[in-house]
Amino acid sequence: MIDETGQRILRLIDVHKDQIIAFAEDIAAHPEPGYEEFRTAGKTAEVLKNLGYKVTEHLARTGVKGTKSIKEGPSLTVIGELDAIGCHSHPNANPVTGVAHACGHHAQMAAMIGCAIAMADPDVQKCLAGTVNFLAVPAEEYIDADKRARLKKEGIEFCCGKSEMIRTGVFDDTDIALTTHVHMVPVEEDFYLGNPACNGYSAERVTVRGKAAHGAIDPWNGVNALSITTSAIQMMGLMRETFREEDHVRLHNVIRKAGDVINSVPDEAIVETKVRAASLDKICEITDMVNRAYAGSAYAFGGKIEMEKLQGYMPIIPRAADNALIEAADDLGLNYRTVQKGDFNNACTDVGDLSHLVPVVNFTFKGFEGKLHGADFRITDPEKAYILPAKLLALTAYKLLKNGGQEAKKITKSYTPVFNKESYIQYVKNTIE
């Protein structure tokens, strides 16, 4: 049964429905790439300031945090992702950057703002113990090697937003993170509660060195970097039969460069390679295989390989649906299912990294059509994609922090982190050195 404060929370979100939907649509109409979400961040900061939160901007370049410490108690951080995904063919793609909100991050931003509206109310705050943070995080989507190199010169050491925020201490005062996303695994129901296991990945930029020669006069004096590259990629293809289903291995390559002029033997090729798998050990094992394919191919042709390791994302540590989340979904009468053992998300997210440091209470939602990252992705039901997720976030936050933060404390007590900030930073640095 929903209590009086719970009802007040729902009313507050209903009263501000038009504002929340307008916020979502405005962000969808102005998509920005990772670490360049200046406009989206500015809008978010403005709304949070108007609601009376203490706002900090330019965290990990574009991140925004609104905070309200209410009473001694657990610190809860509600997360929204700022960035759009490269998808030139999407009808709402920015013509210059080619990014569009085809991963639905504008919907989670709207849900976060809706939740912030309800939590800003003094009568709601009276019933809470603890701190609420609303954190708009940059760069969830993959950042390519060239852009990473540029960002590094500007002080961004870790490639993805949450990771860079862990490194720079933004999550130091977070006890529990609350995250949302549109459905990433195929779920019939409107809501999917809990955090299913998901892949992590490793990435590397490989420069293949050959030797230039005239393509017709004396090709026998050249070493063909493109031949080395295609042979290595073919080997990876043949290795696929050794991948086990339960490891969820996915292997992708993009050839960024493969020679300069067609009448010469290509002497340089550049490939970006990504290995996804369900565990950190499996990622390392398959990455070794990939590297053997490059080395073996270079050996066969007499060329050389230069390898630049790039930071990956960690797999999510799965988490069943917490009581507060289930109760909130029941109060709302939602059509939902909970994460079951064996559920798996083949995509990757930097929420995986965060789940190694703090408990991540998560749900995903519907209200859209088309394929994630596809040109046909669009929100079709603002109620299900913006308003109900805002209500679910707010009711869950309320249930976690009411009664002296009892439910939140239960969650933090039963959670054992894999890393603290220092050991996390060290681990990431080891993977890229």
Q: How far apart are CA 390 and CA 382, in angstroms?
A: 11
Q: Is the dihedral of CA 338, 201, 356, 171 positive or negative?
A: negative
Shortest reach from residue 103's CB to Zn ion, in Å: 3
Q: Taking the complex as a whole, how short is the minimal distance between the CB of residue 244 and Zn ion, in angstroms?
A: 26
SS3 258: strand
> How many angstroms from the chain centroid is the CA of residue 259?
34
DSSP state at residue 383: I
Eight-state DSSP code of residue 211: B
CB of 373 to Zn ion, least distance (A): 6
Q: How far is the CB of 183 from Zn ion (least distance, A)?
A: 11
- Whichever of 179 and 291 has its CB closer to Zn ion, that residue is 179
Which CB sits closer to Zn ion, 108 or 168? Answer: 108
Residue (103 or 401) nearer to Zn ion, CB: 103
Least separation in angstroms between CB 236 and Zn ion: 24
Q: How far apart are CA 250 and CA 359, in angstroms?
A: 27
Contacts of 18 (CB under 8 A, 6+ apart): none
Indicate the residue among 45 and 103 with the shorter CB distance to Zn ion: 103
What's the closest the beta carbon of residue 81 comes to Zn ion, in angstroms?
6
Residue 103 or 387 with smaller CB distance to Zn ion: 103
Q: Annotate 295-358 with three-state secondary structure.
A: HHHHHHHCCEEEEEEEEEECCCCCECCCHHHHHHHHHCCCCEEECCCCCEECCCCCHHHHHCCC
Residue 102 C-beta: closest distance to Zn ion, Å: 8
Binding site for Zn ion (CB under 5 A): 103
Structure-token pair, residue 70: 């209410």
In the complex with Zn ion, the residue whose CB is nearer, 352 or 405, is: 352
Residue with Cβ nearer Zn ion (141 or 175):
141
Task: Report the C-alpha gap between 332 and 396 in whole angstroms.
Answer: 11
For the CB of residue 315, give the shortest distance to Zn ion in the complex, in Å.
Answer: 16
How crowded is residue 356: how many other Cβ atoms within 10 Å of its Cβ? 20
Q: Which residues share a beta bridge with 368?
A: 379
Q: How far is the CB of 142 from Zn ion (least distance, A)?
A: 9
* Burial of 240: CB neighbours in 10 Å, binned 0-12, 13-18, 19+: exposed
Give whole-number Cα distances, 385 to 38, 268, 389, in Å.
24, 47, 6
Nearest residue to the partner Zn ion, using Cβ: 103
CA atoms within 13 A on the CB side of 304: 4
Nearer to Zn ion, 274 or 409 (CB): 274
**Residue 53 or 377 with smaller CB distance to Zn ion:** 377
Strands (E), 72-119: 75-81, 85-86, 99-100
